[in-house]
Structure 1
Amino acid sequence: MATLLPAQRGSLRYDNFQFLETKRPWLSLYGIRVRPVAPVGSTSSKPVVESSLLHRTLPDELIQEVFMRLTPYSLGRAACVCRKWRYSTRMPCLWRNACLKTWQVSGREENERLCAETYGSSWRAMWHSRPRLRYDGLYVSRNTYIRAGIAEWKITNPVHLVCYYRYLRFYPNGKFLYKTSPLRVKEVAKSMQGRATKSEGLFSGRCTLEGAQVEGAVLYPGSQPTVLKIRLRLRGTIPGAYNRLDLLSLVTSGVDENDVASGSEDVIIDGWQDDETHNPDIPAISHRRGMQPFVFIPFEEVDTSVLNLPVEKMDYYVPG
């Protein structure tokens, strides 16, 4: 059996250490602030920062025109590109247009007054701090319950886990679409991006937003019209997101045909109590099942959302 000299054993250990060690040259840059260097031959003491090819090609006016056509959430992504884009995305005109479009029901004068009195004339602060509904996606509530099955063969107590969804899509003019379906998000999103059709189980209604509370009503037409009144609380998992809607109450009640305008399918019921009945044939019912919070899903994420998972992979979903 061969033996190794002490020098050889030391070199072997050193070689193994060199082999197992991962070199990280970027560690030497920690704590060092990289500053621009003045070009060679320049007499100026100030360093010159070389702009990118995009900034040298496009003037500031064209960049502003591009930003004017972006959504506020796309502006937030653009602000992360570089320092110049960050300052460009803070132009007041960009956020003013976004605020006026989002709260167009309030009117231009009311929005300008509220921005000046409450948010220090900062449209960007108004966009981030004022509660608002999002229009670039769907609010989805995933609900499950256990239903007893029919006894067959040797199975005497079969049970089934039933999963269904409530869908809400809001519009800036105060209208919204409502749908209850067992279909998953990616199967319903396309139908809710178009016009509401009763054949697909879509119903249109009207809603109001006061502070963080949302109230809406949907009219189910027919021989005995029924109104679904829904009350929700708007919140966000992070500041300014407003991606959650807590379902506070869900009430159905009959409506007198004389109180419903001819040809109208979207109404707002003001001052109704939860147990108030307007048609003795269809009394008011306050529902307690299916009260899971709504989660906002942008249209570009409907195919990849976890809410598309079947019940065998996700029997219960905690919105947070």
Structure 2
Amino acid sequence: MASDIALPIPNEASASSGFRMMQFIGTKRPWLNLYGNRIRPIAPFGSTSSKEFAESSLMHRCLPDELLFEIFSRMPPYALGKAACVCRKWRYTIRNPTLWRAACLKAWQASGALENYRILQSVYDGSWRKMWLQRPRVRTDGLYVSRNTYIRAGIREWNVTNPVHVVCYYRYIRFFPSGKFLYKNSSQKVKEVAKCMSFRASKVDCVFRGDFAMTHDMIDGALLYPGLRPTLLRMKLRMRGTTRGANNRLDLLTLVTTGVEYNELSHGEDDILGVVESWEENETHNPDVPAVSHRRGMAPFVFVPFEEVETSVLNLPVDKMDYYVPG
């Protein structure tokens, strides 16, 4: 509610400077009246004083530092970042290097412990938290989603003009610390696909597994589409983030499909990337399936945590997502 508030000016000032009384429009802020008021706990029934028990808002002060550290050690890194904003004590406790060392060694376990320690000392000045925030990494607590659309002309039936359809489909990638990833190309929304993106997915779900390797901020991935005419899909992506340490964007640089003979990869299905890393980009091993370098459907991947798959904006229908452009 807006109201007119009149501010009188002292007579001395008005006489000397000639200022007149001014009126301005201000907004009432009732919550300002709460400043300076200390909220005290209500004593339980039967108690004569509220000092017999601790305030519920200061419950964490009753916990010893050892117990508080044990609680934080069981929390994921991104939950630790949120907890560090609660109070000063939690922030200092979460700065413990042991918490971030465990997170770093798990995130880059494919590099090995010795290599991680070498990078820690040579690049990040021995700070595990600095390494976690600045070193590019793939996130394993959600899905990377690429939303792509194209226009398809329909068939004219009893109309003067041809109908036009907007086709929307998604690419989904889920990474694992072991160097494996799951890939799915579907028109289903995020909340539906998140339920089947696991190694236990059936063939009906059309979830394919592959191998990836990360060098600094570049990711090389390869997977095999099985069938009568096996097709190898190779992609190159670049990791980036909208904020420091977010790693929530993937730029799809190249996407190539190549025909292969199944007996070429039958001995290396556990490490497809290691078998094809020496192949040329447009090299094909099956004349029936030529190599194709795709130029369409190269929208960036947006990271969606598992806790936000139900409420993500990517679940909106096509008519409300025409102008969605990931940053």
* 2:52 match: none
The Cα shift of 1:221 comes to: 1.3
The answer to whether structure 1 residue 82 and structure 2 residue 97 are counterparts is no
Question: TM-score, normalised to structure 2's length?
Answer: 0.81
Query: 2:27, 2:156 → 1: CA distance?
Result: 65
Question: Secondary structure of 2:279's match?
Answer: coil
Question: Secondary structure of 1:112's match?
Answer: helix
The Cα shift of 1:187 comes to: 1.0
Query: 2:107, 2:155 → 1: CA distance?
Result: 50
2:145 to 140, 149, 160: 140
2:260 to 250, 255, 258: 255
* 2:131 match: 126
* 1:22 match: 28
The answer to whether structure 1 residue 272 and structure 2 residue 271 are counterparts is no
* 1:221 match: 226
Question: Secondary structure of 1:219's match?
Answer: strand
The Cα shift of 1:281 comes to: 2.0
2:192 to 181, 187, 193: 187
Query: 1:28, 1:223 → 2: CA distance?
Result: 72
Question: Secondary structure of 1:190's match?
Answer: coil
Query: 1:21, 1:237 → 2: CA distance?
Result: 35
What aligned pairs does 1:53-132 form with structure 2 within 5 A after superposition? 53-132=58-137
1:152 to 126, 144, 157: 157
* 1:315 match: 322
1:299 to 306, 315, 318: 306
Query: 2:191, 2:284 → 1: CA distance?
Result: 37
Question: TM-score, normalised to structure 1's length?
Answer: 0.83
Q: Deviations over 1:95-137 (max 9, x none)?
A: 0000000000001111111101111110000000100000000
The Cα shift of 1:222 comes to: 1.7
Matched-pair contact (CA < 8 Å) for 2:235–2:254: yes
Matched-pair contact (CA < 8 Å) for 2:144–2:304: yes
Q: Which moved further from structure 2: 55-64 or 97-106?
A: 55-64
2:289 to 258, 282, 295: 282
Query: 2:31, 2:85 → 1: CA distance?
Result: 26
Query: Residue type of the partner of 2:176?
Result: Y
Inter-CA distance 94–311: structure 2 relative to 1 (3 Å threshold): same
Matched-pair contact (CA < 8 Å) for 2:182–2:198: no
Query: 1:23, 1:309 → 2: CA distance?
Result: 36
The Cα shift of 1:192 comes to: 1.0
Query: 2:170, 2:60 → 1: CA distance?
Result: 47
Query: Residue type of the partner of 1:22?
Result: K
Query: Which segments of 5 or more consecutive residues in structure 1 lack a partner in the other structure?
Result: 1-16, 33-49
Q: Deviations over 1:198-232 (max 9, x none)?
A: 21010000001001111100111122211000111
Q: Which moved further from structure 2: 309-318 or 77-86?
A: 309-318
Inter-CA distance 265–158: structure 2 relative to 1 (3 Å threshold): farther
The Cα shift of 1:190 comes to: 0.9
Matched-pair contact (CA < 8 Å) for 1:297–1:305: yes
Query: 1:223, 1:193 → 2: CA distance?
Result: 25
Q: Which moved further from structure 2: 190-199 or 172-181?
A: 190-199
Matched-pair contact (CA < 8 Å) for 1:174–1:206: yes
Number of residue pairs the alignment of both structures matches: 285
The Cα shift of 1:194 comes to: 5.4
The Cα shift of 1:315 comes to: 2.1
Q: Deviations over 1:165-185 (max 9, x none)?
A: 000000000000000000111
1:207 to 202, 208, 212: 212
Inter-CA distance 23–180: structure 2 relative to 1 (3 Å threshold): closer
The Cα shift of 1:28 comes to: 11
Query: 1:132, 1:26 → 2: CA distance?
Result: 44
Inter-CA distance 152–25: structure 2 relative to 1 (3 Å threshold): closer
* 1:40 match: none
Query: Residue type of the partner of 2:283?
Result: E
Inter-CA distance 266–182: structure 2 relative to 1 (3 Å threshold): farther
Query: Residue type of the partner of 2:109?
Result: Q
Query: Residue type of the partner of 2:277?
Result: D
Matched-pair contact (CA < 8 Å) for 1:216–1:229: yes
